[in-house]
Structure 1
Amino acid sequence: MTSIPHTTPSSSGARAEGPSLHAYDVGLLILRLVLGLTVAAHGAQKLFGWFGGGGLEGFGQFFTMSGYPSGETMALIAGLSEVLGGLGLVLGLLTPLAGAAVLGTMINALAVKWGGGFFAPTGVEYELLLSAGAAGLALTGPGRFAVDRFLPGLRTHRLGYGVAALVLAAVIAALVLLIRN
């Protein structure tokens, strides 16, 4: 596949060559696939007990021990947010909202694990990386290889959509944290 170089004007007025638009799109696709599938699998652990997960009952107990009311309900909400948000990122479908779903869940995960250091097994580097990736995708959009390109109003990503989605994620995550003991 050949690509047309992307050029941008430099401060001197000359056109400088940069990465092709296809390179950005392929990079965003790889990021979406890896991040989205990782988060969706993480959610499937909560919902279905797949991949060695505890299912709703096991994760419900964890949520209860972590100070959340109605542990199984919270596990269901977190699991659905991760599965649907992750699959949304994979497909590039409603990408700002998919990124926000992942970010909101990860904000709560960071709050629960905070104080355990940075590195695994008790640290927050995994949750922080997922948070940053989801926020980045919400802000940049999915690239050209995405379902959003076929939806009216989402064909061209706007930074405002991403910012609004991330604000929504932060507000909802804060509200959930307020009900935590």
Structure 2
Amino acid sequence: MINRITATEPNTVPFILRIVFAIVLWPHGAQLLLGLFGGYGFSGTMQYFTTQAGLPSLIAFLVIFIEFFGSLFILFGLFTRLVAVASIILFLGMIFTVHQQFGFFMNWYGSMKGEGYEYHLLVIGILVCLVISGAGKISLDGILHKNTK
């Protein structure tokens, strides 16, 4: 089973996608978990997600966990396919519960009430590529796969 999850080819493209994904997503996870970059930290985020957004506690926790730790797992190429699938579910949830109502476009000029979902589609595109290809070159999945053959 672990061989199927960690299987990958020594390709550079997934490595680049992993780095870009982590650079973009980790700061958002750090806002949610640690309160960095103007975020509310774990307790503030949990309170917001469960009271204002109406998410169940488990879902709120998973959002924080996936954004923070999932981005690190993908950065290092550890269980990349599994984490990418979880992240796709997360981003689809974001689209359908929050961003769909605001349309496609991001709110670049501050003229709308919220943000559209174009960013989320880009992230999902990156994640789908990682599900298909695996972690690629320079990844812990590659090391695990070699050692479990």
Aligned residue pairs total 132
Match of 2:55 in 1: 68
Aligned residue among 145, 148, 151 for 2:144: 151
Percent identity of paired positions between Structure 1 and Structure 2: 33
Match of 1:137 in 2: 130
Shift of residue 142, structure 1, vs aligned partner: 1.4
Aligned residue among 17, 20, 37 for 1:34: 20
Aligned residue among 17, 33, 56 for 2:42: 56
- Higher share in strand: 1
- State the one-letter code of the partner of 1:126: Y
Shift of residue 155, structure 1, vs aligned partner: 7.6
Shift of residue 143, structure 1, vs aligned partner: 1.3
Shift of residue 148, structure 1, vs aligned partner: 0.9
Match of 2:100 in 1: 114
The TM-score with structure 1 as length reference comes to: 0.63
Aligned residue among 51, 71, 77 for 1:92: 77
- State the one-letter code of the partner of 2:35: G
Shift of residue 37, structure 1, vs aligned partner: 2.8
Larger RCO (alpha carbons 8 Å, 6+ apart)? 2
The alignment's C-alpha RMSD in Å is 2.4
The TM-score with structure 2 as length reference comes to: 0.75
Structure 2: gaps spanning 5 or more residues: 1-8, 108-114
Residue 14 of structure 2 contacts residue 129 of structure 2 at CA under 8 Å; is this kept in 1?
A: no
Match of 1:16 in 2: none
- Higher share in helix: 2
Choose 1 or 2 for highest CA Rg: 1
Cα distance in 2, alignment partners of residues 125 and 37 from structure 1:
18
1:125 and 2:111 correspond: no
Cα distance in 2, alignment partners of residues 120 and 155 from structure 1:
44
